[in-house]
Structure 1
Amino acid sequence: MKILFFCPRWGHAHVPWNVFVQQVKAAGYDGVETDVPADEKERGQMLEALAKHGLLLVAQHWETVTPDFDAHLPAYMERLQRMAAVSPLCINAQTGRDFFTMEQNGQLITAAAQVAAATGIPVYHETHRSKFSFAAHVTAAYLQQFPGLQLTLDLSHWIAVAESFLQEQQPAVALAVSRTRHIHARVGHTQGAQVSDPRAPEWEAALQVHLDCWDEVVRINKQAGLQQLTVTAEFGPPPYMPLLPYTQQPVASQWDINLYMKALLNSRYNHNPFA
């Protein structure tokens, strides 16, 4: 099974598309994960740059945040349809709100499944704070109710929400792992969704918790006969990235950390008999 690696546009939106995509290609990524611009000109620039360099696209939806459910549902569907129209490899959706009812969030999950069925573009729902999937035990209930529900697993959010490495929630984590088709490879800790630098020895234990989980995702997907699995190295810019006081300088380079994560996981999975 081949693991494909994607670079987040998050943190680099100020870089012109043609320059950014050249950097992504040179760094050895297979593609980019990004939202799909509503502006037709910018959307065209993005698609042209990706095509020129032979890079794949994971479309990322995060924009629908209105608390009014009656407005939220059609806006959510419109954005998913816009993303499907550019033929990404898949759509990673931050879906719903943590304060919506289970029925309301269920309607959004059903709507996403309808878009996927109509377009042939799979929609994976990201485990994310403030969304329907904000905690392991809550997401488990949705996974049980919706057998077709598949996830983008970002374990860091659940660890921060639970203020633990989820030792007491392993059945819920195992269920999520079995339904994961896309990984966000960020390392969190019990007090936040992003460690300062996963290369530092003080974060070795946190990194290992995530690696153990990702290993299981890879194993299950390989066992299921899938030919590929997608991973986005998704350490983010400030405020995810801690800043030094007064100078407001990042404590590490987002770009370098994500390259480290890509290299670590590429070596672990694409160049290892395990994978």
Structure 2
Amino acid sequence: MPIKFYAPLWGNALPFDSFCQNVKDAGYDGVEMELPLEQKEKKKVLETLNDHELELIGQYYQSFEADPRENLKSYERYLRHLIAAEPVLINCQTGKDFFDFEANARHFGLAAALSSQSGIPITHETHRGKCLYAAPIAKKYFERLPELRICLDISHWCNVHESLLEDQRETVELALSRTDHIHSRVGHAEGPQVNDPRAPEWSDALQAHLEWWDRVVQRHREEGGTLRITTEFGPFPYMPCLAYTQMPLASQWDINVYMLNLLKSRYKA
């Protein structure tokens, strides 16, 4: 069972070619990112990824429209835009936390149809503000939509529920069983990102996340298929910074490479 690792474009300030060289040198398999809608820029991005022999996970986060019908139209447009680039996977922050079940279910149905037509897997992220923002809400979708597959970013649920989810083990296990993609950010009761997972004060939070990811890895080893992991620690305002100066308390890049090496070592054959 292969595990592949991806760097987030999120937070990068370097020229894209330099970023891709750093990603390759660090030992990643690819990049998770949105794609520009302008075709010339999109082509340039895809050529640069190809030049560095990096895979693409297409990213959709632009769920901005408050009207469910307009949101769905934009969702379809951007998914088709990503599909045309032939990524290995598309990861979506699908729907809205204030849409009703039927409205969000239409998004999932559309994604399932486009995935079936294209052959490109589509996962849906457990992200605040989006459809799967909370454990009990996600459980309803899991129970009624048995084919729903997710990107597990469980750091968001830790923040939403102000805990390491000790009292929601059944729902967490259900989520782990639906996971095909992981965002390996470490959250805590009061935020979606610890300031530095290497710090001893966050050892309990790190261990909880590692144990969740362990169970996903074990299931994929038993069932086969590729598991994809993006080391998605983010920049300000996810990264805590000093007041006034906005100087980050740690290096986003260094933390993500630390997570890459930690998980590669932990899950090596």
TM range (shorter): over 0.9
Q: 1:16-73 CA deviation, whole Å, 9 max, x = no partner?
A: 2211111111111100000111111221111011101111011110012200112111
Q: 1:173-218 CA deviation, whole Å, 9 max, x = no partner?
A: 0001001000000000000000000000000000000000000000
User: 2-side partners of 1:270 and 1:46: how far apart?
Assistant: 31
What is the aligned residue count? Answer: 269
- Deviation, 1:245, is 1.9
Q: Is the 8 A contact 1:235 1:254 kept in 2?
A: yes
What do you get for the CA RMSD once the two structures are aligned? 0.8
Q: Is the 8 A contact 1:127 1:134 kept in 2?
A: yes
* Structure 1: runs of 5+ lacking an equivalent: none
Q: 1:205-236 CA deviation, whole Å, 9 max, x = no partner?
A: 0000000000000011111122x210000000
3-state SS in 1 of match to 2:128: coil
Q: Which residue of structure 2 aligns with residue 261 of structure 1?
A: 259
User: 2-side partners of 1:179 and 1:270: how far apart?
Assistant: 22
Q: Which residue of structure 1 aligns with residue 45 of structure 2?
A: 46
Q: Does 1:132 align with 2:131?
A: yes
Q: Which residue of structure 1 aligns with residue 235 of structure 2?
A: 237
Runs of 4+ residues over 6 Å off in structure 1: none
Q: Which residue of structure 2 aligns with residue 218 of structure 1?
A: 217
Q: Is the 8 A contact 1:2 1:270 kept in 2?
A: no
Q: Which residue of structure 1 aligns with residue 2 of structure 2?
A: 2
Q: Which residue of structure 2 aligns with residue 180 of structure 1?
A: 179
Q: Which residue of structure 1 aligns with residue 268 of structure 2?
A: 270
3-state SS in 2 of match to 1:92: strand
Amino acid of the residue matched to residue 32 of structure 1? V
Amino acid of the residue matched to residue 131 of structure 1? K
Amino acid of the residue matched to residue 86 of structure 2? S
User: 1-side partners of 2:41 and 2:237: how far apart?
Assistant: 26
Q: Is the 8 A contact 1:17 1:45 kept in 2?
A: no
Q: Which residue of structure 2 aligns with residue 18 of structure 1?
A: 17
User: 1-side partners of 2:246 and 2:137: how far apart?
Assistant: 36
Q: Which residue of structure 2 aligns with residue 199 of structure 1?
A: 198
- Deviation, 1:148, is 0.7
User: 2-side partners of 1:247 and 1:128: how far apart?
Assistant: 28
Q: Which residue of structure 2 aligns with residue 252 of structure 1?
A: 250
Identical-residue share of aligned pairs (%): 49
3-state SS in 2 of match to 1:270: coil
Q: Which residue of structure 2 aligns with residue 159 of structure 1?
A: 158
* Structure 2: runs of 5+ lacking an equivalent: none
Q: 1:106-153 CA deviation, whole Å, 9 max, x = no partner?
A: 000000001101111110000000001000111011011111100000
Q: TM-score, normalised by structure 2?
A: 0.98
User: 1-side partners of 2:90 and 2:245: how far apart?
Assistant: 38
Q: TM-score, normalised by structure 1?
A: 0.96
User: 1-side partners of 2:170 and 2:162: how far apart?
Assistant: 17
3-state SS in 2 of match to 1:152: strand
User: 2-side partners of 1:76 and 1:96: how far apart?
Assistant: 9
Q: 1:239-271 CA deviation, whole Å, 9 max, x = no partner?
A: 000001232210000000000000000000024
Segment of structure 1 superposing worse, 157-166 or 40-49: 40-49
User: 2-side partners of 1:225 and 1:231: how far apart?
Assistant: 16
